[in-house]
Amino acid sequence: MPKYIVLLGPPGAGKGTQAQKISSSFGYPHVSSGELFREHLKNQTQLGKLAQGYIERGELVPDDVTIAMIRERLTRPDCEQGAILDGFPRTAPQAEALSAMLAELGGKVDLVPYINVPTRVLVERLAGRWTCREQGHIFHETSNPPRQPGKCDVDGSELYQREDDQAETVLKRIQVYLSQTTPLIEHYRSQGVLVEVNGALPIDQVTQTLSELIEKEVLV
Ligand code: AP5
Ligand code: MG
């Protein structure tokens, strides 16, 4: 039976950072809706052009296209054993669509770590974030600096600052998260799969907590 882990949390909580780490230690692919959109944007596909305005304004891309994009990704062969979802679902219709999709694939949402971080910390994290151009590896000026400024430790590609990390857009993204995504906390709590994780701790401590949770709740 495939296993699916959904990382929930506000912008800057560390979803991408943690997904990259647990994906490489547990072998489930990292499926990030934000990264998939950024790939489409880079390649100037039709979907990329459609998503661009929403992303730049800090708004959500419409559910129908987002759901179709994730469905396509989860049905690729590398997701046969499951996946770590980061940034999806983000709305109630997306959560419903995901359940239906996973049922078709013979699985369900097994674990939803809710990475909780106070809002004031988020703004500072996003202002100092540097992302790798090639594969989206994530760094931070002070909490997780690359060995060489401006260069990715993993693949050597250029690091850049995301357009949507400007303070004004970050505040908008946080608002959107609070109004559209926080209802999912109760949704998954009521299903008995939500576990709150303190995302304000150092990166390695959060990884340790998540790894223990996966071993206990998913790999059984
Ligand atoms: P997306 O890319 O998903 O952005 P997000 O959810 O706003 O989350 P972030 O990527 O900003 O934060 P993160 O939690 O991954 O934090 P990270 O690990 O990088 O979405 C972008 C846009 O795409 C959306 O606004 C929307 O337009 C569209 N979109 C995406 N999904 C969608 C969907 N499902 N529906 C509709 N539209 C969608 O960490 C942040 C920084 O903090 C880094 O610098 C990192 O090094 C540092 N850091 C991480 N953890 C720690 C720690 N524990 N201590 C100190 N520093 C840390
Ligand atoms: Mg991310």
Residue 167 within a domain: no
> Cα(36)–Cα(105) distance, rounded to whole angstroms?
21
Q: Catalytic site residue 147?
A: no
Tell me, using a 6 A CB cutoff, whether residue 15 lines ligand 1.
yes
pLDDT of residue 109: 98
From the candidates 21, 73, 90, 125, give the one annotated as an active-site residue: 90
**Distance, CA 11 to ligand 1 centroid (Å)?**
4
Q: What is the CATH number of the domain that holds 67?
A: 3.40.50.300
> Cα(156)–Cα(134) distance, rounded to whole angstroms?
9
Task: Assess whether pLDDT exceeds 90 at residue 74.
Answer: yes
> Cα(212)–Cα(186) distance, rounded to whole angstroms?
23
Q: Catalytic site residue 173?
A: yes
Task: Assess whether pLDDT exceeds 90 at residue 4.
Answer: yes
pLDDT of residue 220: 81
Instruction: List the residue whose alpha carbon is closest to atom 34 of ligand 1.
Output: 88
Structure tokens at 51: 């998503």
Tell me, using a 6 A CB cutoff, whether residue 54 lines ligand 1.
yes
Q: For residue range 120-172, what is the model confidence (pLDDT) as tens digits? A: 999 999 999 999 999 999 999 999 999 999 999 999 999 999 999 999 999 99
> Cα(216)–Cα(208) distance, rounded to whole angstroms?
12
Task: Assess whether pLDDT exceeds 90 at residue 9.
Answer: yes
**Distance, CA 102 to ligand 1 centroid (Å)?**
23
Structure tokens at 182: 């926080």
- Mean of per-residue pLDDT scores for the chain: 97
> Cα(97)–Cα(171) distance, rounded to whole angstroms?
28
Instruction: List the residue whose alpha carbon is closest to atom 21 of ligand 1.
Output: 34
> Cα(18)–Cα(211) distance, rounded to whole angstroms?
10
pLDDT of residue 106: 97
Going by C-alpha positions, the residue among 61, 199, 48 that lies closest to residue 125 is 199
Residue 94 within a domain: yes
CA atoms within a 13 Å half-sphere pointing along the CA-CB vector of 39: 11
pLDDT of residue 158: 97
- How many residues are present in the chain? 220
From the candidates 71, 108, 133, 162, give the one annotated as an active-site residue: 162
Q: Catalytic site residue 162?
A: yes
Residue 193 within a domain: yes
Residue 74 within a domain: yes
Structure tokens at 161: 């600052």
From the candidates 15, 38, 73, 125, give the one annotated as an active-site residue: 15
Predicted confidence band of residue 100 (pLDDT cuts 50, 70, 90): very high
CA atoms within a 13 Å half-sphere pointing along the CA-CB vector of 127: 9
Residue 164 within a domain: no
Q: How many structural domains are present in the chain?
A: 1
Residue 108 within a domain: yes
User: Which domain range does residue 84 map to?
Assistant: 3-117+175-217
Please tell me which residue, 218 or 49, carries the higher pLDDT value: 49
Residue 83 within a domain: yes
Residue 142 within a domain: no
Q: For residue range 177-193, what is the model confidence (pLDDT) as tens digits? A: 999 999 999 999 999 99
- For every residue of 110-158, DSSP letters joined together read EEEEEEE--HHHHHHHHHTEEEETTT--EEETTTB--SBTTB-TTT-PB
